[in-house]
Structure 1
Amino acid sequence: MSAILVTGGTGTLGTSLVTRLRAAGHDVRVLSRHSPDFPVDLRDGSGLDTATAGAEVIVHCASSPRGGDDVAAGRLIEAARRAGTVTNLVYVSIVGVDAVPLGYYRTKLEVERLLEASGLGVTILRTTQFHDLVARVVDTAAKLPVVPLPYGVRVQPIAVTEVADRLAELALPTPSGRVPDMGGPEIRTLPEWGRAYLDATGRRRRILALPLAGKAYAGFRRGGNLTPSHAVGRVTFAQYLAERGR
C-alpha cells in the first residue's frame, strides 16, 4: 500500500481520516504541530522534508482561521516537489469560497489556486460546514444570557465522519482534480440549528436573530455557502447531537 501523509492529522477531521486509512492497510504519516511522529508547523516548514520523503499521496487537512493557510500550502507544495514521489495532493476546501467574500474563505480559494497552478497532481473536495462547527458557534453564543445568531444565514452541516470517508476514497495515487461538492442532508437557518442544539443540551435560552452588515454576510444570506444539489450527507444534525450526548 502507498505511503500517505495527512496534514492536520491530530485534528477532528484528520484523526477520523487516519483511522480509516490505517484500517485499509495504508502506511500513514500523521503531521501536525502536536504529532509525536512528525511535529511540523507548516507555517515555517521545519521538518517538512522528512515528513514528505517517499510519500506518494498527501491529504492536506491542516487549516487555521487565524490565517497563514496560503503560506502553509506554499511550503507543502515546495516540499512535495522536492520529494519527487508525490502523485496526488488532496485538499479539503469549503463550499462557497468563491461566492462568500469572507477573509478565511478567500484564503482557502487562494490555496486551491496555488495547488492547481503547482504542476502537481491534485484533488480538491469542497464540503459544507461540519456539525461540530455549528455546535461550537452556538455553544459560544450561548455563554450570554440571550443567544445572538446571524439572521437569515442558512447552513447545511455535514458529518466529519462522512467527509473522512470520502477523503479516504480520494487518497489514491491518481489525482481526480476538482471533484463534486459534499453537502449535508438538511438546510436550515443558524437560529433554527441553534434552537435544536439548545433543546438537545437542555438549555432554555432565548435566541436573538441579529441582522449583520458587510459583503460576507450578504454572501451567506444569498446561500453562497450551500450546495443543495449535492446534499449527499446522510447523518442529520439531530443524529449528531444524539451521538454527541452519548
Structure 2
Amino acid sequence: MTSLTDPPGRPDEGAAARVLVVTAVAAEQDAVAGAFRDTSAAPAHAPAAARTLHRVTAGGVGVDVLAAGVGPAAAAATTAAVLAAAAQRGAGYGLVVSTGIGGGFQPGAPLCSLVVASRIVAADLGAETAEGFVPVTGLGFGTVEHRPDAALVARVAEVTGARTGAVLTVSTVTGTAARATALRDRHPDALAEAMEGFGVAEAAAAVGCPVVELRAVSNAVGPRDREQWRIGDALKALTDATGRLAPVFEALPAGARSGAVAQ
C-alpha cells in the first residue's frame, strides 16, 4: 500500500497511476486488490482519514485501489483528493472505476451477479413533495446522473459477464418493499443500488476523467433480510470480475496509458 501523497519512484510507477479503482470499505478493497499482483513497497496510511491505497498491477497496467469511505460524500471527497494529488505529481489517472458490493433489484440482478452501470444516478438527491419525489434537476439546479462511455460499459460487461443497467446511488439504503418499488418506478432500468458511485463519478467528472461503475450483488433491494445476504460470495464474485478487467485497462488510449488526466 502507499499513501495518497507518496512521490513517484516505487516499483512499476510508470503504470501505477493509470487506473484508480475506488471501493467503500477495506473488505471490498482487499477483494479487488486480491485479483492482481501487489507491487507496494510498504504499507502506509493516507492523511487524516487513515485510508490506504493498494498499489497493484493488472497485466502490465498499474492500478491503485482506494477504500474511500461509505456514502457519496466520502467517496467524492476522497476520490477528488487522490485525483488532485496525482495530477499535482504529473501522474494523473486515465480511468476511474467505482466498484464494490451492492443491492440488486429482483429479478433483474440475482444474488452474486454483476452489474455495470449504463447510468450512475443520484436517486435520492432532491425533494419530497406532496406529489412525490422531485430530483434536484426538477428544482432547477444540479445534476443527478452520469452516463459512462457506452463502448467502455459494453466492454466491461463483455469481459465480466455483467448485466448492464442503471446503478442507483443512495445515502439511505433501501429497507422496504415500498421504497424498492418507488425507485424502480422512477428508474425502470435500475439493476442495482449502492452508496458511492455518484460521488466517485462527480469527482472524476470534475477533472474530465472517464468513469465506470461495477457492482457485485450481495443482497436484494427491499426488506432487510440478513439471513439471505451473501456478502462473502459477492466479494468473491467481485475479485473474479475485477481480475477480468486487465484487457479493458490495457486497451485504454495512449494518453491514459501515460497517466494523463483528460481535461
TM (normalized to structure 2)? 0.39
Q: Which has the higher contact order (CA 8 A, sep 6+)?
A: 2
Structure with bigger strand share is 2
TM (normalized to structure 1)? 0.41
Larger radius of gyration: 1
